[in-house]
Structure 1
Amino acid sequence: MPAGDEAAEPASRAGGAPGPQADGEEHAPDGLPRAYLLWLAGILVSLVGNAIFYFALGWAASAYGGSIAGLTLSAITLPRVLLLLVGGAVSDRVSARRVLITGDAAMLVFSLVLAAAAYSLGAPPLLLVATGVAVGVVDAFYLPASGSMPRRLVPTSQLPRALSLRQVGGQMINMGGAPLAGVLVGLAGFAGAAVVNAVTFACTLVVLIVVRPQHDVPPTPSSDGLLREAVSGVKVAFAHPVLRPGLWLTGAAAGLLLPVLTLLVPLLAREEEWGAGTAGLVFGAQGAGMVAVTLVVVRRGPLGRPGLLAASALVVAGGGVLMLGVSPNALAAVAAGLVIGVGNGTFSAHIAPLVLASSPDTHLSRIQALLVLVQSLALLLMNNVLGALVDLEGASVVVVTCAVMLVGVGLAGLTSSPLRNDRTGLART
């Protein structure tokens, strides 16, 4: 499809003013464009397939021991991290929609071939590692393009509601995906999971062919090489008065908040002898708090200035983590999980639309690539650092340390005037 075919009205540039509405754009009763809701439905179907497939891949790899399981997961992460910035540059150059259609078509074919191979050969380690590499490479191009699509489908003023709705859907799938995956893998094995994944890619591919961006801009002219264009995204982001602190806050949340939930809660539960049930309740309370906040944003829109709320939310989340670290009993730990969820939900519901809306039209996918890269590197580093510190000092000490650092980062974010005063997504008076 010619590049100009998908360019309708350009999105508004950084600064937060709502972009012009494309002629003939259809809106659902809740105000979000029908094109976005259709695209979101396709994405959520794809997420169901991903949840099933990733579980099946990890389960098959675990049969060969921890080393093969770790190698398989690393095979996904490493090419994703190495190629993310290039993937963002490609998306900005040739259009996000084209990249998404190509990625879904490639994964549809690959999943069918993988299903046939797994049916004939089983799931040998070499096949699992090769699968991880293929998934990681496609993700490096797919994730930046997908992350930029809400900006291309909805006006800037609707981004907080649109992204919150996506987040709620993702949370629901995460909660139900693992049990569904376990049943499916038990019935049909790794080959069956690959077939289901292919079906979900086919559904998403049809949606992408139908959906046309309503707030898109022409692809960036390819004046430089891909590597220079990728580096340009980094330079633009860290020179921007709002994007720079926004990316730092996102990295801090990824490195100091996410490991609390995935790594430190189980370790703390064992240390305090709360049991697996309490750890699960803390997870559940965190999820409930997060979903509650995002549903409010879906209903009402942003709760205030997004940068101010994002930085303040890290202070709230840090307070919840501190409560968790000094909890005298399981009940207090569950209450702390709820506070963490409220802080995490408020942060996510406001920082994501702020970063997306503040990105220059020419660098939408590259900024999204950098956002994913910052999160991935922070999480990869801090999971290992915090795990080693737990062995030295104990889980409760490390949890309290994370809490203090989160509060400090949030307070530091509040010192940034451009971040604190940005009014992206708010009605102007």
Structure 2
Amino acid sequence: MLFTPPFRGFFLGRTVSLLGSSMAPVALAFAVLDASGRLTDLGVVLAAQMVPQLALLLVGGAVADRMSRRVVLVVTNLGAGVVQGLVAAVLLTGQYRPAVVAGLAFVLGAIEAFASPALRGIVPELVREDDLQKATAVLASARNAVKIAGPAAAGLLVAGAGPGWAIAADALSFLVAAAFLARLPPRTVVPAARRRLLADVRAGWVEFRRIPWVWPMALSYCAINLVNTGPWLVLGPSLTKERDGEAAWGLVLGVRAVGLLVMSVVVVRLVVRHPLRVGTVAGAAGAAGLLALGLGFGTTWSAVCAFVAGLGFAVSGILWETSLQRHVPREALSRVASHDDLLSYAAIPLSQLLVGPAAAVWGGATVALWAGVLFVVAALAPLAVKPVRNLGVHAAGGSRESNSLNGANDCR
């Protein structure tokens, strides 16, 4: 049964935290813009949060594999709650200073670098292997549901009480999540012989390269983020506004979110023999939204394509996450996941920086169209690698519990 007490507690804590976090970007944007009126300030705050997250991700992965992931998650949620509480206090007391808010965002980004690998590594400790796909799909359903409800709730709270109170709600959500997570069982996997932290980071890199299906998929997702994030987030609003007005883009985003939610619910019961084979093909459908922008589709067909893209993203993401949880040794899972995260996250700001100059040279629609084509190529490219095509549901020969990280001389 999936909803045993450990997973139920994790699910409730994670859902509460996600709801608060989905409100924070909307509230923070309004707070900074209301206080200073300068877009540059908002950009500095967002960058201040991203930089330490990228810089410390690999260290965070090593820490999550060395320690109890429950402890890491409780500490990081408490820390994030305190930081967001301070941000809320600064805003509610009218003491806004760009440097103060950026500094707190920097601390929050550092905390997230430790939380993310622990989150990706803890689920196999809470459910049976046969329930991993269901658990991942249920968590994805909650995440996609709050993506719809959270920003709407934030908008109402910001309009009715002010952005500071929405940030305060996010702070409270972290503290509530910490209370749920504190009730999780202790670590069930004994870590390998203790080494220096940097040696564990290097060992994680060795494990990441060693598994023949992990790095091709990680590189694929990196390339997808590079060609998708900037064009979708930057060109999407501008091209849609030119053709059908501002409301059209909101509709497209809403329908895309519905596609994510619908498919994440469906995948709970989906039986797949070769998850990466199915996930890569489904992931190529994520390009549909970009192709619609590039081909100049109207609102109706753009929304249909966005819905299809949402379906594809959901299948691809859930099957990828489940594959990692099933086949990567638990004592190395957080480190392998941190390398995956680093590749994905690093491509996002680069994509956002490149899309503007590219659109200035070739035009927004042309860039969106070719980005969509490259998206399909990047999504399908891992199928050329035999271990990706042939990865099954169950690990062969019990390999999940033994790996090169157990050797004393080995340097994920």
Q: Do Structure 1 and Structure 2 share a fold, with TM-score over 0.5?
A: yes
Q: Structure 1 residues 135, 302: CA separation in 2 closer, same or farther (over 3 Å shift)?
A: farther
Q: CA deviation at 1:167?
A: 1.2
- One of 225, 229, 240 as aligned partner of 2:200: 229
Match of 1:16 in 2: none
Alpha-carbon deviations, 1:168-210, whole Å to 9, x = none?
Answer: 1111111121221123234443542343233212211111111
Letter of the 2:364 counterpart = A
Distance in 2, Cα, partners of 1:97 & 1:291: 27
Give the 5 Å matches for 1:20-31: 27=1, 31=2
Q: Does 1:209 align with 2:182?
A: yes
Map of 1:8 onto structure 2: none
Of the three residues 123, 137, 152, the one matched with 1:150 is 123
Kindly provide the amino acid, as one letter, of the partner of residue 204 in structure 1. A
- Report how far residue 276 of structure 1 moved: 1.7
Does the 8 Å CA contact 1:297/1:303 hold for their aligned counterparts?
Answer: no
Alignment of 1:252-291 (within 5 A): 252-271=223-242, 273-291=243-261
Q: Residue 62 of structure 1: CA displacement?
A: 1.8
* Paired letter, 2:208: A
Q: Cα deviations across residues 99-137 of structure 1 (Å, max 9, x unaligned)?
A: 111112223334444444444453221221122011111
Residue 218 of structure 1 pairs with residue 190 of structure 2: yes
Q: How many angstroms apart in 2 are the aligned matches of 1:284 and 1:173?
A: 12
What code does the residue aligned with 1:369 have?
A: S
Amino acid corresponding to residue 375 of structure 1 in structure 2: S
Q: Where do residues 1-400 of structure 1 align in structure 2 (5 Å cutoff)? A: 27=1, 31-63=2-34, 64=36, 65-212=38-185, 216-223=188-195, 225-271=196-242, 273-298=243-268, 300-318=269-287, 321-400=290-369
Question: Structure 1: which amino acid aligns with 2:360?
Answer: D
User: Which shows bigger deviation, 236-245 or 187-196?
Assistant: 187-196
> Any conservation in 2 of the 1:254–1:378 contact (CA below 8 Å)?
yes
Rate the CA distance shift 1:427–1:168 in 2: closer, same or farther, 3 A: farther
Q: SS state of the match for residue 296, structure 1? A: helix
Q: Is the 8 A contact 1:48 1:177 kept in 2?
A: yes
Structure 2 Cα separation of the partners of residues 119 and 149 of structure 1: 36
What CA distance in whole angstroms lies between the structure 2 residues aligned with 1:126 and 1:252? 33
- Per the alignment, do residues 318 and 186 of structure 1 end up closer, same or farther by CA in structure 2, a change over 3 Å counting? closer
Equivalent-residue separation in structure 2 for 1:248 and 1:331 (angstroms): 33
Contact 2:230 2:354 (C-alpha < 8 Å) held by counterparts: no
Q: Partners of 1:238 and 1:44 in 2: how far apart? A: 33
Question: Can you list the C-alpha shifts for 1:362-386, whole angstroms capped at 9, x where unaligned?
Answer: 2111122222211111111112212
- Asked if 2 retains the 8 angstrom alpha-carbon contact of 1:62 and 1:69, the reply is yes
Deviations along 1:10-67, one digit per CA (max 9) or x if unpaired, are: xxxxxxxxxxxxxxxxx3xxx3433112211111101122223333222222232011
Bigger mean CA deviation after superposition, 82-91 or 184-193:
184-193
Secondary structure of the equivalent of 2:162? helix
Whole-Å Cα distance in 1 between the matches of residues 256 and 203 of structure 2?
Answer: 37
Give the 3-state SS of the residue equivalent to 2:393 in structure 1: coil
Find the aligned partners of 1:220 and 1:186 in 2 and give their Cα distance: 51
Native 8 Å contact 1:249 1:311 kept in 2: no
Maintained 8 Å contact 2:289/2:302: no
Distance in 1, matches of 2:395 and 2:173, equals 36
**What secondary structure sits across from 2:312 in the alignment?**
helix
- Residue 18 (structure 1) aligns with: none
Separation of aligned partners in 2, 1:77 and 1:149: 23
Sequence identity, in percent?
26
CA distance in 1, matches of 2:258, 2:91: 38
Where 1:257 maps in the other structure, the secondary structure is: helix
What SS is found at the alignment partner of 2:182?
helix
Q: Secondary structure of the residue that 2:191 maps to in structure 1?
A: coil
Query: For residues 366 and 176 of structure 1, what CA distance do their matches in structure 2 show?
Result: 32
Change (3 A) 1:183 1:332: closer
Post-superposition offset of 1:241: 0.9
Q: Which moved more, 1:85-94 or 1:255-264?
A: 255-264
Q: Render the CA deviation track for 1:325-363: whole Å, top value 9, x for unaligned.
A: 224433222222222222222211211211232222221
Determine the structure 2 residue equivalent to 1:19. none
The CA deviation string for residues 59-83 of structure 1, in whole angstroms up to 9 with x for no partner, is 2222320111111111100011101
Code of the aligned partner of 1:284: G
Indicate conservation of the 8 Å contact 2:157/2:163, yes or no.
no
Which SS does the other structure have where 1:210 is aligned? Answer: coil
Structure 1 unpaired stretches of 5+: 1-26
1:356 touches 1:368 (CA, 8 Å); kept in 2? no
Deviation at 1:282, TM superposition (A): 2.0
Per the alignment, do residues 186 and 326 of structure 1 end up closer, same or farther by CA in structure 2, a change over 3 Å counting?
closer
* AA aligned opposite 1:325: G
